[in-house]
Amino acid sequence: MWKESQQFLRDVRTEMKKVSWPTRKDTINSTSVVLITVFFIAIFLGLIDLGLSKIIGGLLRLGQ
C-alpha cells in the first residue's frame, strides 16, 4: 500500500510539472469575464422573476 502511494505521488509531481499554468494577467482577465457574465445573467433573471411575479399577481387579483 505504501509503495503504491509513493508511486502515485511521484506521478502527480511529474504531471504537475507538465501543466501550463495561466499568467496572472490571463487569470485576472478570465475572472473578470466570469464575474461580468454572472452579474448580467443575475440581473436578467431578476428582471424575468420580477416580471413573472407582477403578471401572476395581476392574474390572481383578476380572479378575485
Q: What tens digit of pLDDT does each residue of 29-55 get?
A: 999 999 999 999 999 999 999 999 999
> What is the model's pLDDT at position 61?
93
Indicate yes or no: pTM above 0.75.
no
> What is the model's pLDDT at position 64?
81
- In whole angstroms, give the CA distance from residue 20 to residue 14: 13
Among candidate residues 39, 63, 43, the one with its CA nearest the CA of residue 51 = 43
Which amino acid is located at 53 in the chain?
S
As a 3-state breakdown, the chain gives helix, strand, coil percent values, each rounded to 5, of 90, 0, 10
Grid coordinates belonging to 31: 475572472
Q: Are the CB atoms for 57 and 49 separated by under 8 Å?
A: no
